[in-house]
Structure 1
């Protein structure tokens, strides 16, 4: 699972909420970092903050959905 949020303190919240699940969590502090990380691994799910400073989450979601190798990642935004 990839968690994308420009507020790193929120990573602790996500980690706490999902601590009893068996997720391998990866973190990115920007949309650009998230997209770059997709060259290193392909998560099944991306938790994406919609309201980020540089590039908002909706635009990042659209960019990720446009990458053919990422078509199986669950991003419910249409």
Structure 2
């Protein structure tokens, strides 16, 4: 049971390396994992259902619940 996270960091103040932004994502009860956007500052991730925490530039920016078979869009300003 997976859902899709569509993350847009285009307007975030995070340090960008050639348009790529790194961020951390953690599922509740698990460890932090580091991911990177594509060069357009966007990324789509297929995630198992559950509660997640999103860190951008070292700051907790969002908590959300991923529901199976759904798409969840986040845009960080």
More helix by share: 1
TM-score using structure 1 length: 0.29
RCO higher in 1 or 2 (8 Å CA, sep ≥ 6)? 2
